[in-house]
Chains A and B, each alone.
Chain A
Amino acid sequence: MIALLLRDLKLAFRAGGGFGLGLAFFLIVTVLVPFSVGPQSSLLSTIAPGVLWLGALLACLLSLDRLLALDWEDGSLDLVATAPLPLEAVVSIKALAHWLTTGLPLVLAAPFLGVLLNLPVPGFFWLVISLLVGTPAMSVIGTFGAALTVGLKRGGLLLSLLVLPLYVPTLIFGAEVARRGATGMETQTPLLMLAGITAATIALLPFASAAVLRINLR
């Protein structure tokens, strides 16, 4: 398992592309928002938590089609599937690798981009916390979507269509935590709901992803 994780991480670092792509996209979204809504700092600080969450989500979505497709193309996915390691563990590791290379950098970059959008001071803490809790769910759900569309020639658009509605609960609760935190309101309820979604998806969704992957590798 660890060997597989290390392999995925190494590939992500050395091959470039996937690792920087999400971050660059996050930066672009954040930079373009003030151009489209105007530079008033009061307006920007109101919408900052939501924009940052949306940017992180879209950046995550962008990197999903590489998650399994590259392994599918070079055949290593078949090798991994026939290995003694259960497929459920494989997709969990894939999700973890995706989170480490995409989710975690987004979490770390978010406060710096928050400065650009004039995020209120208490918001920084809650933004990082909510992204830290919410991005694993996005990786796990994304792995399910990637497993569904792995055999398709042009699965990218379909992948987005399938995954976006699945992201709705995570986005609602995550952005709610950041928004409430930025305005100094109580954040416990949405944070617990967000944590619940993350825990449940990590526990249950790998089984669905593995089942789907088995069908696709058949």
Chain B
Amino acid sequence: MSIAAKANTLWEYANPRKFLATSERVLPFFWMTSFVCLVVGLTWGFFFTPDDYKQGSTVKIIYLHVPAALMAINCWLMMLATSLVWLVRRHHVSALAARAAAPIGIVMTLIALVTGAIWGQPMWGTWWAWDPRLTAFLILFLFYLGYVALWEAIEDSDTAADLTSVLCLVGSVFALLSRYAVNFWNQGLHQGASVMRAAAITGADTEEKVSNIYFYPLLLCIIGFVLLFIALVLYRTGTEIRARRIKALLARERLNG
């Protein structure tokens, strides 16, 4: 009963009018909180944490690198979810949200790659290494490019939504496959996961994870990036809906005139 009630409230937003009204109401909240989180988190991270004993001040790029990389992957997952919703339930808002998210994902992937290269030059002594994680991100970048290019290439918007959704599903499988294939292909230079470990929940300061001094501002930056991503997707989806409306109005006008 409660699940059914919940599902009803979620699907209400498939109505573009309802979606626009609600997103306009909550958008200022997302913009403000993400702005506050990012300003506080980045200032705290850059100016009020000590230099790492081995990496020096270069460690501070983590406050941009990790959240951007996280969002780059989660953005693709969001596109996968919205593509599935479009294929199953044919809600236009869902397809437009996927379309709106893709360029954000490209930018996040680029931020992760570029900040990684800037950090890698002094630390690893190279801008780029064919490390599994780096390579997988490059492949993800290619997937994003192909996805956006396919959206742009097809004129009929429903056909484009269908085709890109299928591409997103198939691409997800192959992206995952590539991630493990490159693991097999080359040993890694990139450090392992060190942020979201068991110790992060208990708050214990252990060797296996990033030190708490860096962790709290990093957490703030991650929250800021998540909120920023949500705000951008809502905003861009609203733009897409309005663009679609303008097209419909123009078509109607031509028909009448």
Answer yes or no: are A and B bound together in one complex.
yes
Q: Which of A185-218 contact B (CB under 8 A)?
A: 189-190, 193, 197, 205, 208, 211-212, 215-216, 218
A164 to B177 CA separation, bound complex (whole angstroms) = 14
Chain A residues positioned under 8 Å from B142 (CB to CB): 161, 164-165
A71 to chain B minimum Cβ distance, whole angstroms, is: 18
B171 contacts the other chain (Cβ, under 8 Å)?
Answer: yes
> With A165-B174, A169-B177 known to touch, is A148 a contact of B167 (CB < 8 Å)?
yes
A41 to B169 CA separation, bound complex (whole angstroms) = 44
Other-chain residue from A148, A164, A176 in contact with B163 (beta carbon distance below 8 A): A148
B182 contacts the other chain (Cβ, under 8 Å)?
Answer: yes
Chain B residues positioned under 8 Å from A208 (CB to CB): 166, 169-170
Q: Which of B141-171 contact A (CB under 8 A)?
A: 142-143, 145-146, 149-150, 153-154, 159, 162-163, 166-167, 169-171
Q: Indicate if the CB atoms of A215 and B162 lie closer than 8 Å.
A: yes
B27 to chain A minimum Cβ distance, whole angstroms, is: 33
Q: Which of B31-67 contact A (CB under 8 A)?
A: none
B contact patch SS: helix
Q: Indicate if the CB atoms of A152 and B154 lie closer than 8 Å.
A: yes
Q: Indicate if the CB atoms of B181 and A173 lie closer than 8 Å.
A: yes
Binary contact track A97-138/B, C-beta < 8 Å → 1, others 0: 000000000000000000000000000000000000000000
Chain A residues positioned under 8 Å from B175 (CB to CB): 165
Other-chain residue from B153, B163, B171 in contact with A212 (beta carbon distance below 8 A): B163
Q: Indicate if the CB atoms of B184 and A193 lie closer than 8 Å.
A: yes
Q: Indicate if the CB atoms of B170 and A166 lie closer than 8 Å.
A: yes
Q: Indicate if the CB atoms of B184 and A190 lie closer than 8 Å.
A: yes
> With A166-B174, A168-B174, A208-B166 known to touch, is A158 a contact of B153 (CB < 8 Å)?
yes
5 interchain pairs (CB within 8 A)?
A: A148-B163, A161-B146, A166-B174, A215-B162, A215-B166
Taking beta carbons and an 8 Å cutoff, which residues of B are in contact with A?
139, 142-143, 145-146, 149-150, 153-154, 159, 162-163, 166-167, 169-171, 174-175, 177-178, 181-182, 184-185
